[in-house]
Amino acid sequence: MGWIANIVAGLVGSWLGQMILGDWGPSLAGMALIPSIIGAIIVVLVVSWIFVKANKK
The CA-to-CA distance between both ends of the chain, in Å, stands at 15
Calculate the CA 47 to chain-centre distance.
Answer: 9
Q: Distances from the Cα of 35 to the Cαs of 6, 7, 11, 17, 32, in angstroms?
A: 18, 17, 12, 5, 6
Confidence at residue 2, expressed as pLDDT on a 0 to 100 scale = 80
pLDDT tens digits for 10-39?
Answer: 889 999 999 998 888 888 888 888 999 999
Task: Tell me which of 45 and 28 has the higher pLDDT.
Answer: 45
Q: What is the pTM of this model?
A: 0.79
Determine whether 9 is exposed, middle or buried from the number of CB atoms within 10 Å of its CB (0-12, 13-18, 19+): buried
Confidence at residue 28, expressed as pLDDT on a 0 to 100 scale = 83
Say if residue 1's pLDDT is above 70.
no
Confidence at residue 42, expressed as pLDDT on a 0 to 100 scale = 92
